[in-house]
A and B are shown apart, each in its own frame.
Chain A
Amino acid sequence: MSAQTTQQLTIVQAVNDALDTAMDADDRVMVYGEDVAEQGGVFRATEGLLDDYGEERVLDSPLSEIGIVGTAIGLAMQGKRPVVEIQFSGFLPPAFNQLVQNAGRIRWRNKGKHSAPMVVRVPYGGGIRALEHHSESLEAAYAHVPGIKLVVPSTPADAKGMLLSAIDDPDPVLFFEPKRVYRTFREAVPEGEHKVPLGKAKVAREGSDVTLIGWGSMLHYALQAAENLEAEGVDCEVVDLRSISPLDRETVVESVQKTGRAVVVHEAPRSGGFAGELVASINEEALMYLEAPIERVTGFDTPMPMLAHEDYYLPNPPRIERAVKSVLDF
């Protein structure tokens, strides 16, 4: 098979490319949300789609997250493939009821008569100096809901490949996009069809001393910390979790069995955060391999601070490095 041609894209461009690819391939795919059509989305993730696919399939919606998610469930049950945008993760909570009562439940409720194959795209996380209520990371709350999937790409190629897989997926998928790294770097992204399976973590950097586990924007801080520590002779492995639900325990456990130490990084509040589930999973399957208790580097149990203080809240490479040293020195 000949190598696929690629283009250098940022994450937000890769999202746009995936939407374009999916809409071109399948008439059932619809895109809507607040400001996504005429304006192309506040992050421009949906730019150009209105011109290419028309106002029947690309729509500016009323300002209602309940409506965006709820109608997408109905459209998906009816046979469409809605890919809707929630403008910022901080605005997703009104739709929680629809996710819990309908999206995650309808297939189970009537035993497969209906299903809700839909994608909810959610730019999430802090670090872009956004307004209050724009930067939350409540992935653990949504991942706790049975019947929905929640995935988080951290690179442009994965953003495209995972979004195309999500659109094809038979189950409802929350697609959390790490907006801090939307435009911070480019990489080669295959043109046209390109799929990356959901539910699979990836070893983003191989190492032998300690496993760092992260996702989204934090993955890049973990990689940065690993690089900084290399100069001090510490060899970090970094696992890009990519899928919060379903969880790829195997990749996580294999890595920790190899290194014997782990640090989990996320920007959500610590208590009840997804790091807790990862620590429990590692304890259940790799306790005897552990050389030290697992450390968590996370946000705090506070609301997401406004922009002036967000950098005190968000994990950063120095905090990760400190945690790595702590598990190494145990």
Chain B
Amino acid sequence: MSQESVRFSESSLGDPTSSFEDCLLQQGETAPPRYRFLEPDGSYDPDAVPDFSVEEHREIYYWMLLQKRYDERMVNLQRRGEMGTVATARGQEASTVGVSIGMEKRDWLLPYGREPAALIRHGVSMRDIMLYWLGVQDANRLPDANALPFAIAIGTHLPVGVGYAWGLGMDGADSVVTMMMGDGQPSTGEGQAAMNWAGVVDAPAVFFCLNNQYAISAPFHKQTATNSIAQKALAWGLDGIRVDGNDVLAVVDAMRRARERAVEGNPVLLEAVTYRLEAHTTNDDPSRYRDDAEVDWWRERDPFDRYRAFLEAEGYWSEIDEEAMRAEIDERFDDAWQAVKEFESGGVEELFEYVYEDMTPALQSQLADLEEFLEERPDAYEYIEERPKG
């Protein structure tokens, strides 16, 4: 082996020292800094805030309002027994919308389930998201969007997203894969394998972690002993940044910059620090695991309040007709809900299609058997149809 091929040097292995204290990497007490422009009370440094046009602000506000209004109405439907389990994002609107504004349409969005505004903005129909929560398989088709179905099995989308991004990078595509996740997902084997891999292959990937402080009932400090998610980026060979996830200007700006770095082959772990103000899902009772005082502390940091204060101070608020926006969103929701009611599922053959490109002999025979059974026993068909679906 020639001298030139030696990949090591004393300094590349770390500067040697006989001090244990100097060598010890300590966790410390505090998290890394948070990227933020807007204070919770709405104050800000006019020289620091990114310069967005009134159209951009109108768009950001529209989508935040859509996320909030959609969640409210979905919960209402669920309470009336017309909708399946629903997971809302009240309190996280700045993050779920900020990530979307910071992306390009040609990018891929891999959702984790709590970001309808981002999905709809990326081309997914609202009807299909509603159908998803009603348990209709067709909802996952996502025909007009560079998006995959929700990662309900936590973390499983992350290695897939890295592979997808890796392939895009090989093709020289000017696009990234943005993978959404909660604060529990970095604890999974898939999450850790995926982020490590992304660093090794320079995948054009953004891992967008919505740290909303809870994985169902497990608080962040029980999830990991690190002080942040962002700092894990260093261990996995990524760039990392911690952002105030309730400041939409910071999220948009950080996401845009993270995206630019990712396209260049520097994958980024972006941690948006936020809070889930409502239940995990409509099946959850958060009073079992957290105090009202904590929720109130976060209510004072609501993403809408500070953004609206900023818009007012900058003179943009008069350019935003919130009532008209709300009416438009409600109409959009009504139209989607009407389309849900008009949707007709296919027959039982849909269960067997698309398992393989060509139906195997076993699947053909199982389908024939099921159809024959339903033909012979119409009472069974009624039995199945009458079972509650919610």
Q: Interface stretch among B62-70, B193-201, B273-281?
A: B193-201
A56-B170, A101-B153, A110-B142 known; A71-B357 Cβ under 8 A = no
Bound: A66/B361 CA distance, A: 31
In the complex, per-residue mask of B346-372: 1 if CB is within 8 Å of any chain A CB, else 0? 000000011111001110000000000
In the complex, per-residue mask of A58-94: 1 if CB is within 8 Å of any chain B CB, else 0? 0001101011011111111111101000000000001
A62-B200, A249-B361 known; A67-B193 Cβ under 8 A = yes
The answer to whether A107 touches B197, judged by C-beta atoms less than 8 angstroms apart, is no
Partner of A98, one of B165, B190, B196: B190
Does any Cβ of B come within 8 Å of A46's Cβ? no
The total of interchain contacts (Cβ-Cβ below 8 angstroms) comes to 128
Q: Give A203 Cβ to nearest chain B Cβ, in Å.
A: 19
Bound: A77/B168 CA distance, A: 11
Residues of B within 8 A of A74 (CB): 159-167
In the complex, per-residue mask of A90-119: 1 if CB is within 8 Å of any chain B CB, else 0? 000010011001100001111111110000
Bound: A171/B137 CA distance, A: 20
Bound: A79/B170 CA distance, A: 11
Bound: A110/B136 CA distance, A: 11
Residues of B within 8 A of A146 (CB): 355
Closest Cβ neighbor of A169 among chain B residues: B357
Does any Cβ of B come within 8 Å of A293's Cβ? no
The answer to whether A97 touches B163, judged by C-beta atoms less than 8 angstroms apart, is no
Q: Give A244 Cβ to nearest chain B Cβ, in Å.
A: 12
Does any Cβ of B come within 8 Å of A247's Cβ? yes
In the complex, per-residue mask of B139-179: 1 if CB is within 8 Å of any chain A CB, else 0? 01111000011000100111111111111101100000000
Q: Which of B141, B160, B170, B201 has the most CB of A within 10 A?
A: B160
Q: Give B135 Cβ to nearest chain A Cβ, in Å.
A: 13
Bound: A62/B137 CA distance, A: 35
Does any Cβ of A come within 8 Å of B46's Cβ? no
Q: Give A197 Cβ to nearest chain B Cβ, in Å.
A: 12
Residues of B within 8 A of A318 (CB): none
Residues of A within 8 A of B361 (CB): 246, 249-250
Q: Give A239 Cβ to nearest chain B Cβ, in Å.
A: 17
Does any Cβ of A come within 8 Å of B123's Cβ? no
The answer to whether B167 touches A67, judged by C-beta atoms less than 8 angstroms apart, is no
Partner of A64, one of B165, B193, B362: B193
Does any Cβ of A come within 8 Å of B296's Cβ? no
Does any Cβ of A come within 8 Å of B312's Cβ? no
Partner of B162, one of A71, A101, A115: A71
Closest Cβ neighbor of A246 among chain B residues: B360
Does any Cβ of A come within 8 Å of B315's Cβ? no
Residues of A within 8 A of B357 (CB): 107, 115, 170-171
Bound: A264/B286 CA distance, A: 55
Does any Cβ of B come within 8 Å of A147's Cβ? yes
Does any Cβ of B come within 8 Å of A199's Cβ? yes
Q: Give B160 Cβ to nearest chain A Cβ, in Å.
A: 4
Does any Cβ of A come within 8 Å of B319's Cβ? no
Partner of A66, one of B138, B161, B193, B201: B193
Residues of B within 8 A of A70 (CB): 156, 158-160, 162-163, 190, 193-194
Residues of B within 8 A of A112 (CB): 354
Bound: A230/B166 CA distance, A: 56
The answer to whether B190 touches A97, judged by C-beta atoms less than 8 angstroms apart, is yes
Partner of B141, one of A66, A79, A113: A113
Closest Cβ neighbor of B360 among chain A residues: A246
Closest Cβ neighbor of B359 among chain A residues: A246
Residues of A within 8 A of B159 (CB): 66-67, 69-71, 73-74, 98
Residues of B within 8 A of A82 (CB): 163
Partner of A71, one of B138, B143, B166, B353: B166
The answer to whether A111 touches B197, judged by C-beta atoms less than 8 angstroms apart, is no
Bound: A114/B140 CA distance, A: 11
Bound: A275/B171 CA distance, A: 45
Residues of B within 8 A of A73 (CB): 159-160, 163
Q: Give A84 Cβ to nearest chain B Cβ, in Å.
A: 10
Partner of A111, one of B140, B161, B189, B360: B140
Closest Cβ neighbor of A72 among chain B residues: B163
Bound: A249/B360 CA distance, A: 11
A98-B156, A98-B159 known; A64-B197 Cβ under 8 A = yes
Residues of B within 8 A of A80 (CB): 167, 170
Bound: A111/B352 CA distance, A: 11
Which residues of A168-223 have CB atoms within 8 Å of chain B's CB atoms?
A: 170-171, 199
Q: Give A162 Cβ to nearest chain B Cβ, in Å.
A: 17
The answer to whether A78 touches B137, judged by C-beta atoms less than 8 angstroms apart, is no
Q: Give A103 Cβ to nearest chain B Cβ, in Å.
A: 9
The answer to whether B196 touches A67, judged by C-beta atoms less than 8 angstroms apart, is yes
Bound: A70/B153 CA distance, A: 14
| 9 A–B contacts, CB within 8 A, in A order | A61-B200, A62-B200, A71-B166, A75-B164, A78-B163, A80-B170, A97-B190, A109-B137, A113-B141
Closest 8 CB pairs of A and B: A74-B163, A70-B159, A78-B167, A71-B163, A74-B164, A170-B357, A246-B360, A66-B193
Residue ranges of A at the interface with B (Cβ–Cβ < 8 Å): 56, 61-62, 64, 66-67, 69-80, 82, 94, 97-98, 101-102, 107-115, 146-147, 149, 170-171, 199, 246-247, 249-250
Interface contacts beyond A62-B200, A70-B158, A109-B149: sample of 13 additional A-B pairs, CB < 8 Å, sorted by A: A61-B197, A62-B197, A66-B193, A67-B162, A70-B156, A77-B163, A78-B163, A79-B167, A97-B156, A98-B160, A101-B156, A110-B140, A110-B148
